[in-house]
Amino acid sequence: MIYLTKKIEFEAAHRISNYPGTCSEIHGHTYYLEVTVSGKVDWNTDMVLDFKILKSIIQTGVIDHFDHALILKRNSENEKIFSSYPGKIAWMESEPTAEQMLLWIVSSISPLLPDEISLAKLKLHETSGSCASWKDNKR
């Protein structure tokens, strides 16, 4: 099995509405996302997957949704506070922690991958010193 990793970054703001500290305030990050997929080499192309295709999948599945957005949990408090917000809001069913964003990304990217390619690992850097990782435990 061969593993390919594509790194991409995006800018977003969020707030953790049920958090008792300063993260309950709107704040932003430059997120760095590493997406690792696995598969067998296609001997017709000598590749597992063209990096351009993987980049396009990440663009459609993640960047188009989160980049330059305010990421919020969909709850009555946030819907009331941000009802007249004119900018881009990316609503989530959970708090937009790095951990929950990873789970959202898994469910968003996996269906977009070609049948013979599997999502193997994700790493989301929220800051230069803090990141969360997800790994497919079936591998």
Catalytic residue flag (residue 23): yes
Mean pLDDT over 90-112 rounds to 97
Q: Which of 9, 68, 77, 79 is catalytic?
A: 68
125 is in an annotated binding site: no
Catalytic residue flag (residue 65): no
Nearest C-alpha neighbor of 51 from the set 11, 9, 7, 10: 7
Q: What pLDDT band is residue 137 in, cutting at 50, 70 and 90?
A: confident
Q: Which of 11, 25, 65, 126 is catalytic?
A: 126
**Distance (Å, rounded) from C-alpha 62 to C-alpha 96?**
14
76, containing H or E segment: helix 76-81
Sorted by where each starts, the structural domains of the chain and their CATH numbers stand as 2-135 (3.30.479.10)
Q: Is the pLDDT of residue 106 over 70?
A: yes
Which amino acid belongs to residue 92?
M
Catalytic residue flag (residue 68): yes
Task: Kindly report each contact of residues 42-49 with a partner whose C-beta sits within 8 Å and lies 24 or more positions away, as own/partner.
Answer: 42/116, 48/2, 48/4, 48/117, 49/4, 49/114, 49/117
- Determine the pLDDT at residue 50: 97
pLDDT tens digit string along 27-78?
A: 999 999 999 999 999 999 999 999 999 999 999 999 999 999 999 999 999 9
pTM reported for the whole predicted model = 0.93
